[in-house]
Amino acid sequence: MRNIHEASRLAPRRTTPGRLGVAGIAALLLAACAPMPSGPSVAVMPSPNKPFEVFMQEDQLCRGWAAHSIGQAGNDAAADAMLLLAASLRDAGKLDESDAMYSRFTETYPQSPLAVSGLIGRASNARVAGKVDAALNAYQQASTGFPQSYGAPFALLAQARLLAQQGKVDEAKRLLQALGTQYPYSVAAQAAGASGSQR
């Protein structure tokens, strides 16, 4: 009898399905937990013939659409449609109509994660129309009103470029320094070369 008892003690133990099932499910649940990416991991720059502001607007629209597609809160299909319509009006050369649509967007969706796109769109339209002061004002509203947004560094860069074109080099440098300090790893800071000078 002793050999039978010893043999059963040395034989491999069978784990009950309930115990293994709970442990397996727990391991799967823990493995499935992954944080939502905060953004793309590869910097993409605009093509040589595309204005930087247009590239930035398209980028924000793509981010908004992606967030909407996965059900992230705060993204409204109507808001996206208004921005797309404003951009297509701009592309068709209808700046006044585009500007009205961007203004309507910012008034209708002031809390949208893409609200900064409406201001940047208005700024871009003003720049194209030769209304530099209006463009500077809208870029400033975008960068100060939405400092945590993806568009804020682009708005600072656009302001700096316009100021430099006006010969206001000291003001442009101040904005580029702020860009490098506040957003050192942004695509805008990299495009300006500001991130390397601020480290």
- 130 in helix, strand or coil? coil
Contact call for residues 62 and 78 (beta carbons, < 8 A) = no
* Residues 46, 50, 52, 54, CA torsion sign: negative
pLDDT, position 197: 45
Domains defined for the chain, CATH in brackets: 55-65+76-197 (1.25.40.10)
d(CA 91, CA 98): 9
Place of tokens 């002793």: 2
Q: What is the pLDDT of residues 140-194, one digit of tens each?
A: 999 999 998 888 999 999 999 999 999 999 999 999 999 999 988 888 888 887 4
DSSP state of 151: T
pLDDT, position 141: 93
| CA-closest candidate to residue 44, choices 56, 53, 32 | 56
| CA-closest candidate to residue 90, choices 105, 77, 76 | 105
Mean pLDDT, contiguous 10-residue spans, the chain (199 residues): 55 54 58 57 70 70 64 65 87 91 89 86 91 94 90 92 94 93 87 55
